[in-house]
């Protein structure tokens, strides 16, 4: 057991989650941010493991914990709270998923249904039309299939690839660099990666993303499906016209396919510097009044109402142990991270 795991166990024994609960208060809004629900160690898993937030078993345990300690609310209730002064039950919690992976339907939805939990899935809408792996999964595909023992890669140079651990380290270093550069350069570097690793680009994979039929079924069962752009560029790395196309295009596709009202958005990557004041203005022009980042939540009610286009979330990862999950949802990371908002407060 690592030192961190031991520390969490000691803090649990000291009832630290209760102290966090008292610190944040029962009125705080907690929003969970999931991506994939899958087993990245399963044979044949060839995509990006860090995008997996939990295995189906872990997800079921996490939802059981949420049922005990929170009141799960839907997007409509959150919007009414943020924009119309309505109140929420104590310890309100919204469950969200980014990207629209098929496993949200196959693995998460049955668990949500069992508990009667609503949720929101933010869709990368081009993938419902054509299920090509997203850029991070494309990158993982090249590393998964390469026979090369070493290669000179864009952005990170000469790399030893002779073991799984070395391949993973190279892939993770490359993904970090790819997130920093303009979108067009990123896509070029991705193609060069495939060439350097001598692997063909991946084709569409029907097991990767939901179809519009899945989306419609979820919507009719109380799982809102809202926009997350068309192609998932980090919006701060593209020009204003591209940002507008990405936002409006994803809203329009969802409206056409589901007839839903579009009211919420999740920023691709969602960190500091991944969206700008221009992004927020474009969202408002598209009638989106609520948007979610990946900065650490929960958030106090008055802060949420002042910054409805920058609602922080609890980012969950596949390596979260039970203890770590508890501390995350009870707001330990948010306590340690200074709240940062780029937009003007709405008063």
* Residues near Zn ion (CB under 5 A): 98-99, 268
Other Cβ atoms less than 10 A from the Cβ of 105: the count is 22
Q: State which residue, 315 or 327, has the beta carbon closest to Zn ion.
A: 315
Q: State which residue, 98 or 246, has the beta carbon closest to Zn ion.
A: 98
Q: How far is the CB of 199 from Zn ion (least distance, A)?
A: 24
Q: How far is the CB of 228 from Zn ion (least distance, A)?
A: 6
Q: How far is the CB of 266 from Zn ion (least distance, A)?
A: 7
Q: State which residue, 92 or 133, has the beta carbon closest to Zn ion.
A: 133
For Zn ion, the nearest residue by Cβ is 98
Q: How far is the CB of 306 from Zn ion (least distance, A)?
A: 25
Establish how many alpha carbons lie within 13 A of residue 154's alpha carbon, considering only the half-sphere containing its beta carbon: 18
Phi-psi region of 222 (alpha: psi -120 to 50; beta: other; left: phi over 0): left
Q: How far is the CB of 273 from Zn ion (least distance, A)?
A: 16
Q: How far apart are CA 276 and CA 34, in angstroms?
A: 23
Q: How far is the CB of 231 from Zn ion (least distance, A)?
A: 11
Q: State which residue, 62 or 231, has the beta carbon closest to Zn ion.
A: 231
Q: How far apart are CA 281 and CA 295, in angstroms?
A: 20
Q: Residues 290, 293, 299, CA angle at the centre, nearest 5°?
A: 75
Q: State which residue, 123 or 332, has the beta carbon closest to Zn ion.
A: 123
Q: State which residue, 268 or 298, has the beta carbon closest to Zn ion.
A: 268
What Cα–Cα distance (Å) separates residue 16 from each residue in 12, 90, 175, 293, 338? 6, 20, 35, 26, 20
Q: How far apart are CA 124 and CA 262, in angstroms?
A: 14
**Within 97-223, where are the H helices?**
102-103, 109-115, 126-129, 135-145, 164-178, 183-197, 212-220
């Amino acid at each position: 057991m690592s030192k961190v795991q031991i520390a969490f166990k000691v803090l649990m024994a000291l009832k630290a989650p209760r102290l966090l609960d008292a610190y944040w208060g029962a009125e705080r809004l907690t929003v969970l941010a999931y991506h994939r629900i899958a087993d990245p160690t399963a044979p044949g898993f060839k995509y990006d493991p860090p995008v997996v937030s939990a295995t189906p078993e872990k997800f079921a345990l996490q939802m059981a914990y949420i049922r005990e300690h929170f009141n799960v609310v839907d997007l409509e209730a959150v919007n009414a709270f943020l924009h119309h002064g309505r109140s929420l039950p104590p310890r309100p919690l919204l469950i969200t998923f980014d990207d629209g992976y098929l496993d949200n339907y196959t693995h998460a939805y049955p668990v949500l249904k069992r508990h009667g939990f609503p949720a929101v899935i933010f869709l990368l809408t081009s993938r419902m039309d054509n299920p090509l792996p997203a850029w991070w999964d494309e990158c993982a595909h090249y590393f998964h299939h390469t026979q090369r023992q070493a290669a000179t890669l864009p952005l990170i140079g000469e790399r030893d690839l002779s073991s799984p651990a070395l391949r993973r380290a190279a892939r993770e270093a490359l993904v970090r660099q790819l997130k920093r550069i303009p979108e067009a350069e990123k896509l070029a570097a991705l193609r060069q990666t495939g060439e350097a690793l001598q692997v063909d680009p991946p084709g569409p994979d029907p097991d990767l993303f939901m179809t519009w039929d899945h989306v419609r079924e979820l919507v009719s069962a109380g799982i809102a499906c809202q926009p997350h752009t068309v192609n998932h560029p980090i919006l701060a790395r593209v020009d204003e016209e591209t940002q507008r196309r990405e936002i409006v295009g994803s809203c329009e596709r969802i409206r056409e396919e589901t007839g839903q009202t579009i009211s919420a958005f999740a920023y691709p990557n969602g960190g500091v510097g991944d969206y700008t004041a221009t992004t927020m203005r474009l969202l408002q022009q598209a009638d989106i009044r609520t948007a979610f980042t990946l900065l650490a939540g929960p958030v106090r009610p008055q802060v949420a109402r002042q910054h409805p286009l920058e609602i922080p979330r609890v980012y969950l990862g596949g390596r979260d142990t039970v203890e770590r999950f508890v501390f995350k949802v009870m707001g330990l990371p948010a306590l340690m991270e200074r709240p940062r908002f780029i937009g003007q407060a709405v008063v």
